[in-house]
Structure 1
Amino acid sequence: VQGGAEKMANFVEVTTQQQFEDFLARAGKCLTVVHFQAAWAPQCEQMNEVMAELAKEHMHTTFIKLEAEAVPEVSEKYEVSSVPTFLFFKGGEKVDRLDGAHAPELTKKVQRLAVTKSVGETAETSTTDLNQRLKKLINAAPCMLFMKGSPQEPRCGFSRQIVALLKEHNIQFSSFDILSDEDVRQGLKTYSNWPTYPQLYVNGELVGGLDIVKELAESGELENTCPKAVNLEHRLKTIINQSLVMLFMKGNKGAAKCGFSRQILEILNSTGVDYDTFDILQDEEVRQGLKTYSNWPTYPQLYVKGELIGGLDIVKELKESGDLMSVLKGES
């Protein structure tokens, strides 16, 4: 598409490895966002529109489109095996990565990374911030698994095996996808002095990786290692059944913190049905645990009589088909 966006100085297409390296060198310490795309993929086209909008807001950031298969040397170097994939560079070094067409996540990462640190701020400050964030994530649930992908869709063999072991031993755990956050992925290796993934934590302490979990399973100690895990399931059940209609969202009835949550509130309010909300941003344990418990990886999530109905798309479909009221009243 030859739109106005194509002509923006900070939104460019790159066709060779040399061009790519030149752009990185020229950007210096400013942020460079590289979209590994494929012409045949409609989601890449959508993400280019998002990039064009971001390019208008962040004039000091360079946005690059790169046909992944046309420049295989670059794709292979950075382990890009699917499209769309976004890599973030500063000072010629890769600082973050995002796999998949997640517009809100892309926007968030650009906003966070495009901020150049003020003179007074040192690297130590950002390390302290990251360590606090890691600590919060590790303690988000009694049993926390840092893995590649999600329990529903593990993205590596080791992660798949550890998920199978935990499920086989009926251990309730929450998980974090390290592929979604390069800061966490790199930072946790240093923080815990453990260089590989997956990593399992219990009550904020590192248990270890797949080999150690295998050993614990074989010796019969795995259930004892994850003692409080069952409590999370009980807690989730209690919250889900708190009200006939329960919405788990980002924010609350008064102020939604994301577009999807805002839209679902508007639909529910238009029905006049009574419902309660739970703000997952205030509780990392519930946020991570509910994804596993319900086998539903995103928010918002709507429950009626303790049963998951679904997210925004499903609620929209129910509204269009005229079935929403009977579902909300628990009639169907």
Structure 2
Amino acid sequence: MGVSEIKDESALQSLLSSASNQLVVLHFSAAWAPQCKQMNEVMEELSKDSQYNNVQFAKLEAEDVPEISEKYEITAVPTFIFIKNKSQVDRIDGAKAADLTKKVKLLCSGQGGVPPPAEDKKPIQDLNTRLKNLINSAPVMLFMKGDPEQPRCGFSRQITQLLKERGIKFSSFDILQDEEVRQGLKTYSNWPTYPQLYANGELIGGVDIVKELIESGELEAQLPKQTSLEDRLKGLINKSDVMLFMKGDPDTPRCGFSKQTTSILADTGVKYDTFDILSDEEVRQGLKKYSNWPTYPQLYVKGELIGGLDIIKELKESGELESVLKGQ
């Protein structure tokens, strides 16, 4: 059947719909990575094997389809995602030709479908720090299933509607995209269900609590005063002398450009802070207009925009990066 090429979300959904209960193998790759070319050749050979006639093979340029890459938590290439009935059943990270062949054969035989054991998680202290940063990433923060435009459970739909009806600005985090956050936040906040609403870093509660506060007229008093987007952006930009707006965080960058940027900055030894623009759509879109810079990552030094990855590379090559980061 050959290997198809996926260039956008609609093409992916079309493939998944047509595949019905077939196994779909997605290869997230990059043209600049030789190991991806090798794995594409392996996949081409598998697609020609008659025993895999019912398998749909497809490849995607990970950095050309950032939304899809984010959905499947692609942080490096090559990565292979295995899907049945539109649900992910397994994955392989890295150029592992033998593992790819074995996995395709296993899932075709009906013996697969259970994800491999999770890798050892980061120390609890690191997870708690990450949770604290997420909770405090916006004055009003909602941890929900899905996003405000596409809630993926009835309770999440109710709470976003209640907040929108009252003109309350809030940011959100989709706990379905991060199992570590999903489970860790339950323990961290001692609150077993979702959604969870926070204000100024403090837990308000779930949809029932929000409804009670609305009925008693106390909700607005529990929330911080609304600030303009411009003031909020200024505050974030000036949060640290060196501030990087990126996709993900330095430990788990969620696009190739962010990964390269954090690697370059780490080599300088200069301390910097970050903001995950995937956690806040208002900041993600607003900062593009505020800075007149349409892409991410974006690096700021003492409140001034330096630029993105290309500018950072140029400064590194010219030997000026460290002095620029130190504001010299």
TM-score (norm 1): 0.47
